[in-house]
Amino acid sequence: MPGNARRSPTTLDGLVARYRLARAAAGQVGRILEALAAEPDPHTTVSDPQAALEVHVADSLSGLEVPELRRARRIADIGAGAGFPGLVLAVALPQAKVDLVESAGRKTAVVDRLIQAGDVSNARSITTRAEELGGVPGALGGGREAYDAVTARAVGPLAVLVEYAAPLLREGGVLVAWKGARDAEEEAAAADAARQLGMAVTAVLAVQPFEASENRHLYVVRKISPTPAGFPRRPGMAGKRPLG
């Protein structure tokens, strides 16, 4: 930062005002941050409350700059890790049902403890792989074509995320993927994968969740036609043999 300019600290109240959240949201997020700081197995290197407020909470809330995500009624957060962005989005969007999808039971156990700490009644964890969830129709208890939006943060290459998301989304639904600096090669691969999956990249939004953040982007990929037969592929194939 040039000269002697000092960075303004991010505050919970400031985030609540910025994103026009319900008054109760600050208390819920505060309790989640306290529980994360006390968590013996947090599955994140950032658990200090102030640092996590910026790196996890503010970053998660930047997804609300995507109108389709703010309007979504069913959201799947794939590769949820310690619960971000899905848990924060559930607090911010109390009218939505949010499924936090993670293949490792030890991680969903952390998510469950944070859900309980924040009393987030519209969020739940699901211990499964995205491919397995997308292979079972919603009417049979799975997630195929069951979601208005899929979110992914720090999970994998964009082409892989598009393949994970496509079977889960209803037609017209969107994948919102958190990424850092733009990468032309990754974008080209994602566009190619999207064409094969009935998806299309419709927006790349530059966001600044907090004052010191740099090179942060949200990719919005819309489902424009039904997922082709043969998808999802068996677990692990999207990463081993990406379409793009």
pLDDT tens readout for residues 50-66: 999 999 999 999 999 99
DSSP 47-91: -SHHHHIIIIIIHHHGGGGSHHHHH-SEEEEET-TTTTTHHHHHH
Higher-scoring residue by pLDDT: 42, 203: 203
Among 2-11, 60-69, 131-140, 207-216, the least confident range = 2-11
Average pLDDT, the chain: 94
Q: Is the pLDDT of residue 8 over 80?
A: no
Tokens encoding 74: 């069913």
What mean pLDDT comes out for the span 71-98? Answer: 97
Q: pLDDT grade, residue 242 (50/70/90)?
A: confident
How many contiguous H segments (helices) and E segments (strands) does the chain have? 11, 7
pTM for the full predicted model: 0.94
What mean pLDDT comes out for the span 78-106? Answer: 97
pLDDT tens readout for residues 146-190: 999 999 998 999 999 999 999 999 999 999 999 999 999 999 999
Cα 47–chain centre separation: 18
Burial 136-155 (b: 16+ CB within 10 A, else e): eeeeeebbbbbbbbbbbbeb
Query: What pLDDT score was predicted for residue 6?
Result: 66
| Residue 116 DSSP label | H
pLDDT tens readout for residues 18-43: 999 999 999 999 999 999 999 998 88
Instruction: Report, in angstroms and rounded to the nearest whole number, the Rg of the chain calculated over CA atoms.
Output: 17
What whole-number distance in Å separates Cα of residue 138 and Cα of residue 144?
Answer: 5
